[in-house]
Amino acid sequence: MKKIKFMNKDRNGKRCECGFMEIKNQTEDSADLFFYGDIASETWQSSWYEDDMAPGDVKEFLDNLDGVSSINIHINSGGGSVFGGIAIYNMLKRNAAQKTVYIDGIAASIASVIAMAGDRIIVPANATMMIHKPSNSYFFTSKNADELRKDADTLDRCQKAIIQTYMTKAKVSEDEINQKVNEESWLVGDEIAELFDVEVEESNSAAAYAGSFFTDSYKNVPRNVCEKKMAVPETASWEEIEKAIARAVQTGIKDGLDRENKKKELLASLEQYGERD
DSSP secondary structure string for all residues of 126-176: T-EEEE-------SS----HHHHHHHHHHHHHHHHHHHHHHHTSBSS-HHH
pLDDT in tens, 244-267: 655 555 554 444 555 566 666 666
The proportion of the chain whose per-residue pLDDT surpasses 70, expressed as a percent, equals: 58
Tell me the C-alpha distance between 155 and 3, whole Å: 31
Tell me the C-alpha distance between 39 and 152, whole Å: 22
Identify the pLDDT of residue 47.
Answer: 35
pLDDT in tens, 15-27: 555 555 666 666 6
What average pLDDT score do residues 34-45 get? Answer: 68
CB 64 within 8 A of CB 105: no
CB 238 within 8 A of CB 12: no
CB 105 within 8 A of CB 122: no
CB 38 within 8 A of CB 6: yes
**What 3-state class would DSSP assign to 182?**
helix
39 falls in which pLDDT band (50, 70, 90)? confident
| H-run or E-run covering 218 | none
Residue 210, number of CB atoms within 10 A of its CB:
25
Q: Give the domains, in start order, of the chain with CATH numbers.
A: 3-274 (3.90.226.10)
**What 3-state class would DSSP assign to 15?**
strand
pTM exceeds cut of 0.75: no
pLDDT in tens, 85-105: 888 999 999 999 999 999 999
Residue 58, number of CB atoms within 10 A of its CB:
23
Identify the pLDDT of residue 166.
Answer: 96
What average pLDDT score do residues 215-230 get? Answer: 61
Identify the pLDDT of residue 264.
Answer: 67
What average pLDDT score do residues 177-190 get? Answer: 95
CB 73 within 8 A of CB 101: yes
Identify the pLDDT of residue 65.
Answer: 83
Long-range contacts of 100-103 (CB under 8 A, 24+ apart): 100/70, 100/71, 100/72, 100/73, 101/73, 101/74, 101/75, 102/72, 102/73, 102/74, 102/75, 103/75, 103/76, 103/127, 103/128, 103/129, 103/192
- Residue 79, C-beta contacts closer than 8 angstroms, at least 6 positions apart: 38, 39, 85, 108, 109, 110, 111, 130, 212, 214
Poorest-pLDDT segment among 75-84, 118-127, 266-275 = 266-275
